[in-house]
Amino acid sequence: MSDIHLNCDGRGRRDFLRLGLGSAAAGIGLSQLMGLRAQAAERAGKARAEDVNCILVWLDGGPTHHESFDPKPEAPKEVRGDFGTIPTKIPGVHFSDCVPHLASVADKFTVIRSICHKDPNHGGGNHYMMTGTPTPVPVNCGAFVSFHPSFGSVVSHARGVRDGLPAYMSLPKQSRSGGPNFLGAEHAPFIVGGDPNKKGFRVRDVVLPKEVSEGRAKSRRELRASLDQLVRIHEKEAQDPTIAFDSYYQQGIDLITSPTAQEAFDIESEPDQVRDRFGRHQLGQRMLMARRLVEAGVSFVTCYYGGWDHHRMIFDGLKKHMPPLDQSLAALITDLDERGMLDSTLVIALGEFGRTPKINDRGGRDHWPHAMSVLLAGAGVPRGQIVGATDHDGAYASENIYSPEDFAASLYTKLGVDPKLVLHKRDGRPVRLVNGGQPIPELFG
Partner 1 sequence: MMPASHSLVNLELRSNQYLPAIFVLLIGGAAAQPQANGAEDRPLSFVSDVLPILAKAGCSTSGCHANPEGQNGFKLSIFSYDPKADYASIVKEGRGRRISPAVPERSLFLLKPTLQLPHEGGERITVGSEEHETLREWIKEGMVFRHPNEPILDRISVGEALRKVKRGERGELGVRAYYADGTARDVTTLADFTAGDDSFVTVDDEGRFQVGSKSGEGAIVVRYMGKVGITMLSVPPDGLLPAERYAALPINNFIDEHAVKRWAELGFLPSDLCSDSVFVRRAALDLIGTMPTPERVRSFLSDHSPDKRRHFVAELLAEPNWADRWALVWVDLLRPNPDRVGVKSVYVLDQWIRESFRQNKRYDQFARDILTVTGSTHRNGPAVVFRDRRAPADLTTSMSQIFMGVRLECARCHQHPNESWSQEDFFQFAAYFGEVGRKGTGVSPPISGSPEFVYHKPGGQVTHPVSGAVMPLKPPGGVEVQLESGRDPRQALADWMVSPENPFFARAIVNRIWGVMMGRGFVNPVDDMRTSNPPSDPALLDALAADFVAHGYDLKQLMGRIANSRVYQLSSLPNETNVEDTQYFSRTYRRRLSAEMMSDVVSDVTGVPDHFQGMPAGARALQTWNFKLGSDLLDAFGRPDSSEDCPCERNLEGSVVQALHLMHSDHLQAKLANKNGRVAKLASSELSEAEIVEELFLTALGRFPDKEETSLAVKQFKEPEASRQTATEDLLWALINSAEFVFNH
Q: Please, which of residues 123-152 interact with partner 1 by CB under 8 A? A: 123, 136, 139-147
198 lines the binding site for partner 1 (CB under 8 A) = no
Q: How far is the CB of 65 from partner 1 (least distance, A)?
A: 26
257 in contact with partner 1 (CB under 8 A): no
End-to-end alpha carbon distance in the chain: 32
Interacting positions 209-228 with partner 1 (CB under 8 A):
209-212, 215-216, 219-220, 223-224, 226-228
Q: Which of 114, 131, 177, 413 binds partner 1 (CB under 8 A)?
A: 177
Which listed range, 41-49, 72-80, 293-301, 428-436, lies at the site for partner 1 (CB under 8 A)? 428-436
Would you give the binding string for partner 1 spanning residues 372-391, x where CB under 8 A is met?
--------------------
Is residue 86 involved in binding partner 1 (CB under 8 A)?
Answer: no
Q: What is the C-alpha to C-alpha distance for residues 315 and 322, in angstroms, rounded to an integer?
A: 10
Supply the minimum distance, in Å, between the C-beta of residue 185 and partner 1: 4
DSSP labels for 384-425? SEEE-EE-TTS-SEEES-B-HHHHHHHHHHHTT--TT-EEE-
Nearer to partner 1, 92 or 185 (CB): 185
Q: Is the dihedral of CA 69, 75, 81, 86 positive or negative?
A: positive
Residue closer to partner 1, measured from CB, 5 or 89:
5
Regarding 199 and contact with partner 1 (CB under 8 A), the answer is no
Q: Are 327 and 279 in contact (CB under 8 A)?
A: yes
Give the interface size with partner 1 as a residue count (CB under 8 A): 88
Instruction: Report the C-alpha gap between 74 and 287 in whole angstroms.
Output: 34
Choose among 196, 192, 190: nearest CA to 164. Answer: 190
Please report how close the Cβ of residue 1 comes to partner 1 at its closest, in angstroms: 7
Site for partner 1 in 18-77 (CB under 8 A): 29-31, 33
- Please tell me whether residue 331 adopts helix, strand or coil conformation: helix
- For residue 29, what are the β-bridge partners? none
The residue range among 240-248, 347-355, 360-368, 411-419 that interacts with partner 1, by the rule CB under 8 A, is: 240-248
User: What distance in Å separates the CA atoms of residue 113 and residue 387, rounded to the nearest whole number?
Assistant: 6
CA distance 44 to 289: 22
CA neighbor of 405 nearest in space, from 115, 39, 87, 2: 115
Which stretch in 51-59, 63-71, 106-114, 235-243 sits in contact with partner 1 by CB under 8 A?
Answer: 235-243
Is 147 or 315 the residue whose CB approaches partner 1 more closely?
Answer: 147
If one asks whether residue 200 binds partner 1 (CB under 8 A), the answer comes out as: no
Q: Give 3: exposed, middle or buried? Use CB within 10 Å, 0-12, 13-18, 19+.
A: exposed
In the bound state with partner 1, the residue whose beta carbon lies nearer, of 235 and 361, is 235
Q: Which is nearer to partner 1, 39 or 251 (CB)?
A: 251
307 contributes a contact to partner 1 by CB under 8 A = no
Among 237, 272, 273, 361, binds partner 1 (CB under 8 A): 237
- Work out whether 401 is an interface residue with partner 1 (CB under 8 A): no
User: Can you point out the beta strands (E) in 275-344?
Assistant: 300-304
Q: Which is nearer to partner 1, 78 or 245 (CB)?
A: 245
Collapsing DSSP states into helix, strand and coil, what is residue 374? strand
Q: Which are the contacts of 237, defined by CB distance < 8 A and separation ≥ 6?
A: none
Residue 198 or 429 having the CB closest to partner 1: 429
Q: Least CB distance from residue 298 to partner 1, whole Å? A: 12
Nearer to partner 1, 179 or 284 (CB): 179
Q: Which is nearer to partner 1, 38 or 212 (CB)?
A: 212
- Can you spell out the DSSP letters for 197-259? TSTT---TTTS--TT--HHHHHHHHHHHHHH--PPP---GGG--HHHHHHHHHHHHHHHHH-H
